[in-house]
Amino acid sequence: MAEIHELSAVELRDALRSGELSARAATDHFLDRIDAQNPHLGAFITVTADQARKDATAADRRYALRNRNGGALPPLHGMPVAFKDLTDVAGIITTHGSAALERKPALADGAVPAALKAAGVLSLGKTQVPEFGLTAYSENRIAPPSRNPYALSRSSGGSSGGSAAAVAAGLLPFAPGSDGGGSVRIPAAACGLVGLKPGRGLVPAGESSGDPAQLVVAGPLARSAADAALLLDALVPGPGNEGAGEPGAGGPGMGGRAHASYHELTAREPRRLRIGVSLDSPWQAKFPFIPDSEALDALADGVSRLEAAGHETSEAAIRYDNRYPDAFTAAWTAGIGSARISPQREALLTPLTRTFRRRAQQRSAAKVNESLGFLRQFQQDTIAQYAQWDLMVTPALAQTPRPVGWFTGATHGGGYWPAAEWAGDADGDYRKQCEYAPWSSMVNVCGLPAISIPVHWTGGAPGSGLPMGIQLIGPMGSEGLLLQVAAQLGF
């Protein structure tokens, strides 16, 4: 058998279920890799090694009892994962990436850990996030920044940056993330992974300190479409955790089988699709940007692959309302204004969080409601335009993965406080993020599924240079179709 971390998640699942590999052996292997690599990678804030080994031993006992007495194993028996440090895991401190919060262990599991533990996973710890999940990079004032496994001087993205770095470096077979403005797709693109943002309402809500626009949803980070589908099957409520009967389960590309699992769907070829190609962004009027040549190369590579697979592509000119940036920002930052932070600890917030918290507190409820009303209309207008095509394709990112500390202007450790000095330019930081990932947040506003696929490497070959990806956006219920297309393209 290959090294345990070299197995796909599907292969590891099969080895654990067949008894070829014990849960304890798999857990020990990944914990050893975390111990060796996390000091320079910064993927984990907290490693729960002792509890993980106890849980693995208990999983092996259940496997032995099942062999003697019969019965079914949970679908992800013994599979190691870790959770973003924005979500509660019972008995473990949830930092939210902030030095301003008191350190108290969570009393109960959040929705995503509860669903995945019921499916049989074992938690190895909590992964690095930006403060309150607000940014497209995973740097904060409590732990070393999460770095890109393909270039340690570069960021792994955010806000699921620690999880993406861990999967890309082989510290985990796959991981759940949460996405409120690109937080699964951005780090997936930066780390050369498949990252799926499901449509609104398909899976238990992701993590956020307030989400009035219902932007946040949990989704998988994985090295392949099949692995991502395996994790999605466990996240989606339904009979056997297979997504049966969920909204859109019989949608495009599903072959009419509403009860097929997402993993089963990845083995099927999708129908021939009409795909719109767009560089238009709702941010471009407020923050004019020019995509890097590497982003355009990734888009061209993705379009070539789609056409070679038999799909029809054509240019799509999408018109976005110029009021979008201010409305999105009001909705995105509303929760941080009401977060429970004692006044004497507010100075410990990062400059960006402190600035947007103050503005959120000064914004009237009427203004927030006005923004939410605009975003609902934006959703309707945008979906109507997208409906001319089966899928939309954009670059995943407008720039290559950015250097650690580039967004914040941090020095001396790339963002780790107290060794670092953080620049106070919150607006410059935010502008850089919007120019870096200008095609992600509108998908959350529209509640649509989208997937990031690592079609391009700056060095010319997989694993050479830095990864760059494309984003495919589908209509409601098209999660299976997006995974099918990713698998069809060889991912």
What does the pLDDT look like over 192-210, one tens digit per residue?
Answer: 999 999 999 999 775 555 7
252 with 275: CB under 8 angstroms?
Answer: no
pLDDT tens for each residue of 284-327: 999 999 999 999 999 999 999 999 999 999 999 999 999 999 99
Proportion of the chain above pLDDT 90, given as a percent: 87
When the pLDDT of each residue in the chain is averaged and rounded to a whole number, the result is: 93
The predicted structure's pLDDT at residue 314: 98
Q: Summarize the confidence of residues 319-339 as an average pLDDT.
A: 96
The predicted structure's pLDDT at residue 35: 98
Rounded Cα distance, 28 and 398, in Å: 39
Look up 367 and say whether it is catalytic: no
Tokens of 324: 């979008």
252 band by pLDDT with thresholds 50, 70 and 90: very low
Whether 427 shows a pLDDT value over 80: the answer reads yes
pLDDT tens for each residue of 468-490: 999 999 999 999 999 999 999 99
Tokens of 418: 């107290």
Report which of 27, 144, 167, 159 is spatially closest to residue 84, judged by C-alpha positions: 159
Whether 272 shows a pLDDT value over 50: the answer reads yes
User: At the top level of CATH, which class does the domain 4-488 belong to?
Assistant: alpha beta
Give the total residue count for the chain.
491
Q: Tell me how far CA of residue 413 lies from CA of 35, 270, 452, in angstroms.
A: 20, 46, 29
Q: Tell me how far CA of residue 102 lies from CA of 70, 90, 93, 143, in angstroms.
A: 46, 16, 9, 15
Proportion of the chain above pLDDT 70, given as a percent: 92
70/191: higher pLDDT:
191
Point out the catalytic residue in the list 22, 84, 117, 371: 84
Look up 84 and say whether it is catalytic: yes
Tokens of 403: 């250097």
Q: Summarize the confidence of residues 431-458 as an average pLDDT.
A: 98
Task: Tell me which residue has tokens 């010319």.
Answer: 460
The predicted structure's pLDDT at residue 243: 36
Whether 245 shows a pLDDT value over 70: the answer reads no
The predicted structure's pLDDT at residue 362: 97
The predicted structure's pLDDT at residue 416: 67
Q: Summarize the confidence of residues 431-449 as an average pLDDT.
A: 98
219/243: higher pLDDT:
219
Phi, psi of 221 (to 5 degrees): -115, 125
The predicted structure's pLDDT at residue 258: 52
pLDDT tens for each residue of 37-78: 999 999 999 999 999 999 999 999 999 998 778 889 999 999
Rounded Cα distance, 158 and 490, in Å: 25
The predicted structure's pLDDT at residue 406: 95
**Contact partners, residue 477, CB within 8 Å, separation at least 6:** 199, 246, 247, 248, 249, 250, 251, 252, 449
The rounded Cα 170 to chain-centroid distance in angstroms is: 17
The predicted structure's pLDDT at residue 417: 61
Q: Summarize the confidence of residues 355-375 as an average pLDDT.
A: 97
Look up 364 and say whether it is catalytic: no
Point out the catalytic residue in the list 146, 156, 159, 452: 159
Point out the catalytic residue in the list 160, 183, 208, 209: 183
The predicted structure's pLDDT at residue 422: 78
pLDDT tens for each residue of 145-182: 999 999 999 999 999 999 999 999 999 999 999 999 99
Rounded Cα distance, 336 and 246, in Å: 32
Q: Summarize the confidence of residues 407-433 as an average pLDDT.
A: 79
Whether 246 shows a pLDDT value over 80: the answer reads no
The predicted structure's pLDDT at residue 251: 40
Q: Summarize the confidence of residues 117-123 as an average pLDDT.
A: 98
Cα angle 134, 193, 248; round to 5: 80
The predicted structure's pLDDT at residue 253: 36
410 band by pLDDT with thresholds 50, 70 and 90: confident
2 band by pLDDT with thresholds 50, 70 and 90: confident
